[in-house]
Structure 1
């Protein structure tokens, strides 16, 4: 797609908003945050029927309201050239198929390769005026579909409806899971003495994972999983709790598998409502080919 040098959104004013100010319309119907309204007022531009206006000026039924968003600050991530598997892209969202072994966003070292660094490099090359807005992250060694917003306004709308973003996973667990389906409802907290590892704990935040067995092959069970909450390492922690850690997940009790870079976990389906068109969108991704060795 052709990358725009500016981010502009347009609304035709209905009778319900006739007489209200542009600010009130954007805060209400537009679902702007106060911070975003402030940024548009200070550094962006507002037009009604092609003429530049101030936030306080009233609107009339039939007016065309246009917001030109300000250029966004890039942040501290170091841009880096690298390959990205883009499944879908428009002016508001990006869906990316991430390989295992690549960070979504650098955890500590801002110079580490990551989806965010690769996207930022691409934006700079294309003179796109926004920074990277990752909406659904994946662990470094988890593969599959990720959602990113193309600009701050899209990010605002998507994060407002995070509970409506449905992510489905496939996994290979060690052992033969006996129940064909089940629900793990165990709170998750940071493990004592670690900044990375999580554990189930009554003092943790509520976490719910639903699973069903896809097939059983030798010493492994292939699972489909749905996150009902979005805690860090949720699937990994819950499967360890059940006694069936993910294959390759040495952090949570699994055994290393030389043919995969980490745990056998893949986000194979992503379902969300588009922040601008409001259409429901669904994307799917096949599991990595090396998983065939778990047969």
Structure 2
């Protein structure tokens, strides 16, 4: 077992929470998703040590306690090459920029090993950096399955390192287009609210004081009575960031099945599109900037809203 597979976590303010519940939350980050049953297996097999000789799932945590978790090496995995259409916007020996359609998962994961964008790229003979891991080769950032638009993947280890550094430094330009519920009166604004796992629902994220810093900027493009068309710029890239932030301020994305209302505009998934992506080329440092128009389904919604003036009233 290698040292980099070990995580040390400290209880902050979760006094009295069951250990398995608390660890499931504490071990989550933007790159790792772990279930409560997986945590319970780790506890049962001695991969978790703490302040007591033997730690159990039902133990109640106390602020200040420190736990060490050893995450076993994952089973060997090779991404399957598949004939999946991929819209390549730009490619050279270091990077590939793609326009991902709504409904396509970016990379394989537990219970979802095939049918992803990465499978399609491998099927085209594109070799991606292995630094992202066996299931995430070349993946330095993601967009949700039901979000469309631009993302860049690293083909070389140099590209992976340098693109990852740009994301850490927040020097990447990422502009999104979104249709949200409600008439947003402010023409521009900044949402600065930390995001973490929702303790009540493991499939959701939420604004939480103990979450990670998250900052989103918005600008109104057009108003349609009960809906607003926005451009959003991300400073950070937390899971579901735009979806969580807009719901938090009372303007959830149209079509969002997780954070939005049940009755919404006719679109499969949230009306969110990663329209613009800019970064410094990892080898030449040349400034690369790409913009792609919103997909047909969002164009159709905008046409309905323009024609009706207040569609859905």
Partner of 1:3: none
Q: Secondary structure at the match of 1:240?
A: helix
**What do the CA deviations read for 1:10-37 (whole angstroms, capped 9, x no partner)?**
xxxxxxxxxxxxxxxxxxxxxxxxxxxx
The number of residues matched between the two structures is: 219
Give deviations 1:207-246, integer Å, cap 9, x for gaps.
1100010001232100000011111100000000010100
For 2:129 and 2:207, how far apart are their aligned partners in 1? 38
Partner of 1:105: 107
Q: Does 1:276 align with 2:283?
A: yes
Cross-structure match for 1:40: none
Q: TM-score, normalised by structure 2?
A: 0.66
| Match for residue 250 of structure 1 among 228, 245, 257 | 257
- Residue 236 of structure 1 aligns with which residue? 243
* Secondary structure of residue in 2 paired with 1:251: coil
Question: Is the CA contact (8 Å cut-off) linking 1:78 and 1:110 kept in structure 2?
Answer: no
Unaligned runs of 5+ in 2: 1-75, 131-136, 306-313
Of 98, 101, 118 in structure 2, the residue corresponding to residue 96 of structure 1 is: 98
Q: Distance in 2 between matches of 1:81 and 1:176?
A: 43
The alpha carbon displacement at 1:109 in A equals 2.2
Unaligned runs of at least 5 residues, structure 1: 1-73
Cα deviation, residue 153, structure 1: 2.1
- Cα contact 2:254–2:265 (8 A) shared by 1: no
For the 8 Å contact 1:247–1:255, the answer to whether it is kept is: no
Cα shift readout 1:96-145 (whole Å, capped 9, x = no counterpart): 0000000011342243311111112222xx7x585530222110000000
The residue aligned with 1:195 is 202
| 1:293 paired to 2:301 | yes
Q: For the aligned residues, what is the CA RMSD?
A: 1.9
> Contact 1:77–1:110 (CA<8 Å) still a contact in 2?
no
**Bigger CA radius of gyration:** 1
1:133 alignment partner, SS class: coil
From the superposition, tell whether residues 250 and 129 of structure 1 become closer, same or farther in structure 2 (CA, over 3 Å).
closer
Distance 1:130 1:188, change over 3 A: closer
Q: Which residue of 2 aligns with 1:46?
A: none
Q: Distance in 2 between matches of 1:240 and 1:258?
A: 16
TM-score, scaled relative to structure 1: 0.70
Task: State whether residues 197 and 205 of structure 2, in contact with CA within 8 Å, keep that contact through their aligned partners in structure 1.
Answer: yes
Tell whether the 8 Å contact from 1:209 to 1:226 is kept in structure 2 after alignment: yes
Give the secondary structure class of the aligned counterpart of 2:124.
Answer: helix
Q: 1:161 and 2:166 equivalent? A: yes
Q: Does 2:185 align with 1:178?
A: yes
